[in-house]
Structure 1
Amino acid sequence: MKHLRFLLCLALAVTLLTACGPKEDGSASSSGGGSSVSSSGSGSDPEPAPAPASLTLAACLSDSFHPVLGTNRSNLTLAPLLYEPLFQLDETFQPVPVLCSQAASTDGLIWELTLREGITFSDGSPLTGSVAADALNTARQSARYTQRLRDVSSISGQGNVVTVTLVRANGNLPALLDIPIASSTGDRPVGTGPYVLSETDGALALAARSGWWQGKALPVQTIRLTAASRSEDLVSSFSAGDIGLVDVDLMGTNAPGYSGSYQTWDYATTELLYLGLNTQSGLCRAPEVRQAIARAIDRTSIVQVDFARHAVAAGLPVHPSSPLYNAAQAGTLGYSLQQSQAALEQLRLTGRSVTLVVNTENTAKVSAAQRIAAQLEAVGLTVHLSRLSYDSYVSALAAGSFDLYLGQVTLTGDFDLAPLLSSSGSLNYGRWQDALGDALLSAFQSAQGETRAKAAADLFAYLNQQAPIVPVCFKNGSVLTQWSRLSGLSPVRGNVFYQLENWKLS
């Protein structure tokens, strides 16, 4: 009788569970779900065995599954289950060897990458240096990776070694090589990952490989795939509980709304939201003015309100999770209404007018721009907020028709700031021209090992003095899972299945 009373209490508790809103970070807790049990008579009948755990994911079955050349987001989300990279960036953006056993360079210009021995693709063919080189050369020519690999002049492979030659020294090249390696350029190439695409009577699924070289335990042997060719299909299928997981940008432009009972697992990205300043004309030409503006920005309020905690405040242009981030340096130009007001008064700028431009296509960014405008007015400036369409916004930046602009950039995994801040940088809309700044950017990019932290500290110290941009925050990506069905997730940028062996399904 006590057993039956316990079951009834447990059932009542489960019915009281409500839908869960988004959580702050990837440490979201999961409640283990149990199968319901009905009891009649004396209660001595054996309980039925629980149904095996299952997982269904979305895919566009008619689109390419190629991890580099494909364009469908659902299929690209599945890529880490089928394909593996030479290196994987962990939660602190450090490159962890996967298919590669080591990487070495004496000058940062020529890198030799040694592959692990004995790895095969799912069709039994071996992973060789030439195959890996072909895959990386395909990435160089692809829309997704051509900018990331813009400094590569050649890639070749022989035996189990891949040689990468650069035109600009990079002391952290492995951070750029979290690129999935596929065996060919077809729509369904084989990979070295833990699962393979299988088809039965026209239905596609992911089946666990018996000869996967890592040999780690997998949470499920077969993952069913359900068709979702449009974003509306993805939303409706997840909201109905038919799909167990989706990878989304909750603060993205035209982000779809999800409903139902779900958990949110946030992960760090390299998408930096920043305030750009016109260093060549107008009020922001002087570094002292730019420093005063930086101290007026309350990043925490922007993260908490405008980005609903799906971002992380940052006082430096590197993610706070990175070991390169120094909290003391980040606080140098931290929020201080009093210091900002005093500096503007000393500079006799109280009441002066500035123009802040923002792209209207993203609701979160417009909201953040409005908050920044209010913060600047609170310290004594008069702000004209110019809300522009995307094309007009890009034209204004190119023409320098602004004092301030709210920008967003996706940095590479090595946090190369040259495109944003160097004198010749393609994204240097503020037109900051500084020889010492260029030298420090180059020194940081080429530094290896222990010298990299020192080079980063030197660069960030100078950026605090000059304030050519004001870092605001790094956006988070989000994985949504059905409530209580999955636990143990630790997603990272580009791989929501990171450390899949720790997952538990119920």
Structure 2
Amino acid sequence: MRRIRLSAIVLAAALLLSGCWSEGETLPGDTTVIDSSAEPPEVEEPAALPEQFALPYLPDQTLDPITCADGIQQTVGALLYEGLFRLDETFAPQNSLCDEFSYQAETLTYTFTLRTGVTFSDGSGLTGEDVAAQLNRARTSDRYAARFDDVASITGSGNVVTVVLSSANTSLPSLLDIPIVKHGTEGNTVPLGTGPYLYMTDENGPYLRANPAWWGAKPAPAERIELVESPDMDTTLYQFTSHEIQLITADLTGAKTVSTTGSITFSDTDTTILQYVGLNVSRTLLSDAAVRRALSLGINRPTAVSAFLSGHGTPSQFPISPASSLYPTGLERAYSYEDFESALNTAGLNSGAHHTLTMLVNEENPFKVSVAKYIASSLSVCDLTVEVEVLPWEEFTAALSAGRFDLYYGEVRLSPDWDLSSLVGTGGTLNYGRYSDAATDQLLSAYGAAESRESAMDALCRHLQYQAPILPVCFKTTSVLTQSGVMEGLSPTATDPFHGLEGWAIHLAQ
């Protein structure tokens, strides 16, 4: 995680909560931008400390974590609701509402035992029925349905939840950070939760109060958090600039820029959002794995991230985040133009025969367009010329679905269990390049069933490095932006901007 202080920043009109999403979808990237080309602003004095800590809020919209819209409602909900597990900075699941679990490989059955002493905000105890009801709701939701593709059934009784799979997945707990609400309150604007804060109202309106009965029994950094009505994004940005609210979450490599000024700090955290070059392996040239490997060696990933994503990403040679303990660091190869040129010679691409490839990229995100153009320029050597075609989002996705491309610059949010089947598996829903390889499919299945996921991922990545069905570039980061001087100790994760909340210090005017 990186923490940087800015005196001027350009924010987008679409601010996103880190961590609530629909996995397995390509993303248009309509979010936020830092203007690195602007003249350095004059140094400003730190803003005065606020009298209260406040978050933006939409009072007429549901806080139900299964159905609420992406954005500020999810930020508030992160303080009210908890899942069976929470993901740490490496995307590893840590027990939350789950006390312990077991997995029977023979029957593909998980048994989760709930933590004792957990109560909802009305004082009623958490039950297996509550958890099963919410997970079954999630199975049919836009946000979480992809996580349950391999789930046959979910049942709950007493303090136990049972999940039966249709195919092996030894990393299911990493998918179960889905927030739980009390069964029967889903239709309320504010369903009941088990989190460290309670939703309250008084004569001044809604607010959050530290939950004295929270099972975590850790001190809250603020006894009271105000909720400020924020009906649209322009209002949210104004409130943040004027310090009426002190925290928002944002993706800083997107579009639709809106300028704001002030003394601002942002904390970057890793995500599962992969940016990559996709290849149409049905094209004669790209059907050769040696050619694909050469193209991969031609991408200077650290430069792409630092120069064209303003540093808001982590270079990656594999479709798994380097933040994960599963990432095969030992297989990495440092960028070298000499290695790239040698690989082109090996692939027969320095013979004088000219080849032109076209890379598609969607026009909505200037960062992605810049990266695509940089990669195309880098690969246009020897016999190769790579041209970039910039398309509107609808035309871009239609071309991918129809296979009308040589290369494309894509973006996808992967699930935190790092199941790559949809991306590189035969018939995968995101396998636009029509790559099909029996050995890859076997390694994907072996990874899903592996007791030692580290060695299984290493074997899979080694094979993908040789086959190069896609060319990973980086994993994006997301940011928590705060008023400088107000908060210390932030350690946000991709799924929880308030991760490690008990270690925060919030400074308010006395």
The interval holding the TM-score normalised by the smaller chain is 0.7 to 0.9
- In the alignment, what sits opposite 1:443? 446
CA distance in structure 2 between the partners assigned to 1:394 and 1:34 by the alignment? 45
- 1:442 Cα deviation after fit: 0.8
- Residue of structure 1 equivalent to 2:13: none
- Per the alignment, residue 392 of structure 1 pairs with 395
Q: CA deviation at 1:306?
A: 1.2
Q: Cα RMSD over matched residues?
A: 2.1
Secondary structure of 2:345's counterpart equals: helix
Q: Which aligned pairs between 1:249-398 and structure 2 lie closer than 5 A?
A: 249-254=251-256, 256-331=258-333, 334-350=334-350, 351-378=354-381, 380-398=383-401
- 1:407-461 CA deviation, whole Å, 9 max, x = no partner? 111000101100001002010011111111000011112223xx11111111011
Residues 85 and 177 in structure 1, CA contact (< 8 A), matched pair in contact too? yes
Q: Which of 403, 416, 419 is 1:416 aligned to? A: 419
Partner of 2:120 in structure 1? 121
Shift of 1:255: 5.4
Amino acid at match of 1:64: T
Pairing 1:494–2:495 present: yes
Q: Normalization by structure 1: what TM-score?
A: 0.88
Q: Percent of pairs identical after alignment? A: 40
| 2:93 pairs with 1:109 | no
- The answer on whether the counterparts of 2:47 and 2:484 sit within 8 Å (CA) in structure 1 is no
Amino acid at match of 1:488: G
SS in 1 for 2:147: coil
> Does the CA-based 8 Å contact 2:46-2:263 persist in structure 1?
no
State the partner residue of 1:134. 133
2:458 matched residue in structure 1: 457
Aligned residue type for 1:343: A
- Matched residue, 1:246: 248
Question: 1:202 Cα shift?
Answer: 6.0
Consecutive unaligned residues of structure 2, counting only runs of 5 or more, are 11-17, 19-44
Which residue pairs with 1:40 in the alignment?
A: none
The SS at the match of 2:144 is: coil
Point out where structure 1 has 5 or more consecutive residues left out of the alignment: 1-16, 27-32, 37-50
Alpha-carbon distance in structure 2 between the residues aligned to 1:349 and 1:210 = 68
**Number of equivalenced pairs:** 463
CA distance in 1, matches of 2:230, 2:437: 50
Q: Distance in 2 between matches of 1:379 and 1:320?
A: 32
Report the equivalent of 1:221.
223
Q: Which has the larger radius of gyration?
A: 1
- Superposed CA deviations along residues 225-284 of structure 1, whole A, max 9, x for unmatched, are 101121111111101111100011111343554432100100110000011111122311
Displacement of 1:399: 2.0
Whole-angstrom distance in 1 between the partners of 2:322 and 2:261:
31
Deviation at 1:345, TM superposition (A): 3.0
Counterpart Cα distance in 2 of 1:463 and 1:134: 38
SS in 2 for 1:259: strand
For CA contacts below 8 A with separation 6 or more, give which structure has more relative contact order: 2
The aligned counterpart of 1:55 is 53
Deviation at 1:473, TM superposition (A): 0.2
Which amino acid counterpart does residue 277 of structure 2 have in structure 1?
L
Which amino acid is the alignment partner of residue 387 of structure 2?
A: H
Which deviations, in whole Å up to 9, do the C-alpha atoms of 1:106-145 show, x marking residues without a partner?
2182111110112110101110111111111111122211
2-structure distance, mates of 1:469, 1:290: 8
More deviation, 397-406/424-433: 397-406
Tell me the alpha carbon deviations over residues 332-368 of structure 1, each in whole angstroms, 9 at most, x when there is no partner: xx42222222222343324421111111111111011
Q: Give how far 1:65 is off.
A: 1.0
- 1:86 aligns to what? 84
Partner of 1:185: 186
**Partner letter of residue 340 of structure 2?**
S
Q: Aligned residue for 1:69?
A: 67
